[in-house]
A and B are shown apart, each in its own frame.
Chain A
Amino acid sequence: MAGRKNVRNYSPVQLATASIVCLLTAALCLGHPPSVRADEGTYKLGLVTFLSGAAAGPFGVPARNAAELIIEAINAGTLPSPYDSKGLAGMTIESTIIDEAGGGTKQVGEFRNLVQRRNVDAVIGYISSGDCLAIAPVAEELRALTIFFDCGTPRIFEDNDYKYVFRTGPTSTMDNVAAARYILELKPNLKSVSGMNQNYAWGFDSWNDFKWAMGVLKPDVDIKTEQFPKLGAGQYGSEISAVMVSRAEVIHSSFWGGDMEGLVLQGAARGLFDNSQGIFTCGETAMFRLSDQIPEGTIIGGRGPFGVFAPASPLNDWFRKSYMDRFGTPPTYPSYKMAQAILGLKAAVDKAAAAKNGKPNKEEIAAALKGLEFQAPSGVVRMSLGKGHQAVQEMVYGQFTKKNGKPEIYNVRRYPAECVNPPDGVKSEDWIKNSLKQTSCN
């Protein structure tokens, strides 16, 4: 090898690089000594949501905005009743935010950092179901109070029992069961459906739930075609052709974010929705952004009673108005779900504090949150599944229309939680296949 003469002589640039990298690493490491326990007056909250990647725009950032808004209001004590007390049982919330990008293994590492290095008192976060599945056992191992706010898979609490893990948002089961119910009320003589869902767990689960529910509620409905384009593909020309050729009466899609907007734009341009009724289970996030392009009468859902589907209440009015004033756009469902997770935590901490007349520890907070019924901008949230760790709510669908240039929803149908969710202890799949038919919504 060449360079024998240079054995111990480095160029200044090399040395500079090495020292910069070393200094950077050292500074970063030392910059965060394992911090001492926060003083009594603060409650450290770790927030995890997508700040980069495809899910940041439609989900991550609206959720972060809502978190900012709600945390400031809680600290200032300016929320309407029943949350008009200051802080979490008087403690000021101090939040840290982390990007959810990078996949399960990475997030397990970051979760450990939050709990063990940053010493947070609770973690609220996770949009991806894969991340939720990966985090749950670790949260239990570290005995860290963790609230999932958005991920949809029912597997988390159906396959395991947890003590420190909660989810304040409903599962994806009810989106698709209610979608099947809504469609059948709208078109009692439905003959055929087609599906257009993304080629990953969310798309498969959504389509399966819808297909199973349809098969039980109206067994003679024909499935014409099932399309699974790649996640983030952007171009759906050939899938739209396949669905158009199938001539199904209804097209079910669980597309979200940019993919859903792309499908709406490309499908509308080609007349996909002229002869077929579209149903978008996550359509609510695009309602204001694409109000000129969404075809009249398209059925849209918002994964629960969120956004435009939220029932009127002083808390909801406050939330919509403050969010509008501050961020210039109405809050969509990820914002609602984040607000609801933080308020659920506040309800639990306040309740635990009232019971013992002092600062509650995490076991007491977890016990208070278990099975709790609390108010959120989206109405009542009941932690009734997963042995009191999983929330249920009503599910709402409606059709899109534009009145005097303003996007609106008509034909709104609200389904009580019991008729679109399994009872506690029953898996979604078994419930849909065995008991859905006997479950009445009235």
Chain B
Amino acid sequence: MGSDRTPIFLCAALLLLLVVGLFIPNWLVFLFTISMAKGLVVLGLILLMRTGLVSFGQGLYYCLGGYIVGISGQHWGITDVALVFLLVVLAATLLSSILGLLLCRYREIFFAMLTMAFSMILYGILVKSEKLGSTDGFIIAQATLFGWQPEVEASGTWIFALAVIITLVALLVMHLYFRSPMGFGGEAIRENEIRVEYLGVSPRRLIYIKYVVAAVLAAFGGAITAVAAGHVDPEMAFWATSGEFVFIALLGGTLHVAAPLVGAFLIEIIRTIALDLAPYTWQMILGGSLLLIIFFLPKGLWSLLPKRREEEGL
């Protein structure tokens, strides 16, 4: 394997984004933040997809992350981002390590349907919770960092910076993981699970770990969305939200850790501008672009980039 320049590219790209973030208008900063949040969820999803499993229920952890942020601010009085995000990770790990015990036994459509079922259970519970505002959701208290309360006007920028840092760390870790034996194990399971077992590796354990990692990433995405948007509602756990994540994954492709980010940004920008240009037919523009990509770039946008040798060797 040759020298791996991806981490350097990733660092450079995201640091550049951080600098650019200081100069671009606020609405674009918000769009970038939401794209990164969704990109993180999809990063977890492609981890599962590389293993041949499609989760239609990442909304479960996306929503969990958002609601933990909201509840800790509104009901427990915890607004410190570092502490809240720690809680988010704990909650997502706990829930996914329980559900994972069941889910790692299922494959294909059964896995997809079960993940969706669990996320719809959370949706149902939240709709019935009038204390949490039912379908209206509730407003999130303004976030602080280590006791520092930023100006309301500057909050967009520092949440963006936070999102960039979390995304960078997540991308680096996942890149290393994808290239580790455990990471390649996913593709091996997708190709031939029985062989993997003969090699002495437990596919169930591998899938279990991947499921937990994907859950934590999704919860981070939800937490960032919640802090940035300032509001959570049960729609985050609805199947259509999870469906959008699968769409982004298809759009970006599963070939590279940065692909979900590109996919998420593209879908956000196409949608927001379509909504502006064609208030009555924006869905057609969005759907049309997705169809074009699925027909002509089945491996996602990332397949347009020239492949490097080391990647071909996979």
Contact = CB atoms under 8 A, between A and B. Distances in A.
Interface of A: 1, 4, 7-8, 10, 13-14, 16-18, 20-21, 24-25, 28-29, 31-32, 34, 51-52, 96-99, 103-105, 108-110, 112-113, 115-118, 129-130, 133-134, 136-138, 140-142, 153, 155, 159-160, 199-202, 204, 208, 231
B235 A104 contact: yes
Interface in B46-92: none
A409 to B, nearest CB: 31
Chain A residues touching B, majority SS = helix
Contacts of A105: 34, 225, 229, 231, 236
Contacts of A110: 272, 275
A32 B276 contact: yes
A212 to B, nearest CB: 13
A25 B137 contact: no
B135 interface: yes
A273 B60 CA distance: 41
Interface stretch (B4-12, B96-104, B290-298): B290-298
Nearest to B277: A28
Nearest to B37: A105
A201 B306 contact: no
Contact of B312 (A1, A16, A24): A1
Nearest to B142: A137
A133 B136 contact: yes
B135 A137 contact: no
A98 B275 contact: yes
B155 interface: yes
A204 B130 contact: yes
Contacts of A16: 296
A31 B279 CA distance: 16
Given A51-B279, A116-B27, A28 B225 contact: no
**Residue among B231, B269, B293, B296 with the most chain A CB within 10 A?**
B231
A18 B297 contact: yes
A416 B274 CA distance: 45
Contacts of A137: 139, 230-231
Interface size class of B (residues with CB under 8 A): 35 or more
Contacts of A159: 139
Interface string B229-246: 111110110000000000
B197 to A, nearest CB: 24
Given A28-B270, A117-B25, A200 B279 contact: no
Given A99-B279, A113-B27, 12 more contacts: A21-B266, A28-B270, A29-B273, A32-B276, A51-B280, A104-B137, A116-B27, A134-B230, A137-B230, A138-B230, A159-B139, A204-B130
B36 to A, nearest CB: 13
Nearest to A160: B139
Given A28-B277, A99-B282, A141-B152, A17 B134 contact: no
Contact of B293 (A21, A34, A133, A134): A21
Contacts of B277: 28, 31
A98 B289 contact: no
Contacts of A200: 127, 134-135
Nearest to A2: B312
Nearest to B313: A1
Top 8 nearest A-B pairs (CB, nearest first) are A134-B231, A201-B134, A28-B273, A200-B135, A17-B296, A201-B136, A112-B27, A130-B136
Nearest to B278: A99
Contacts of A116: 25-27
B27 A14 contact: no
Interface in B298-313: 301, 304, 306-307, 311-312
19 contacts: A13-B296, A17-B293, A24-B289, A25-B270, A32-B273, A98-B276, A99-B279, A104-B233, A105-B231, A109-B27, A109-B31, A109-B229, A112-B26, A116-B26, A130-B231, A133-B139, A133-B231, A134-B139, A199-B128
A112 B30 contact: yes
Nearest to B38: A105
Contacts of B183: none
A115 B34 CA distance: 18
A4 B270 CA distance: 32
Nearest to B134: A201
A267 B277 CA distance: 42
Nearest to B295: A17
Contacts of B273: 25, 28-29, 31-32
Contacts of A98: 275-276, 279
Interface string B165-202: 00000000000000000000000000000000000000
A153 B272 contact: no
Interface string B129-167: 010011111110000000000001101000000000000
B16 interface: no
B292 A20 contact: yes
Contacts of A155: 133, 136
A103 B235 contact: yes
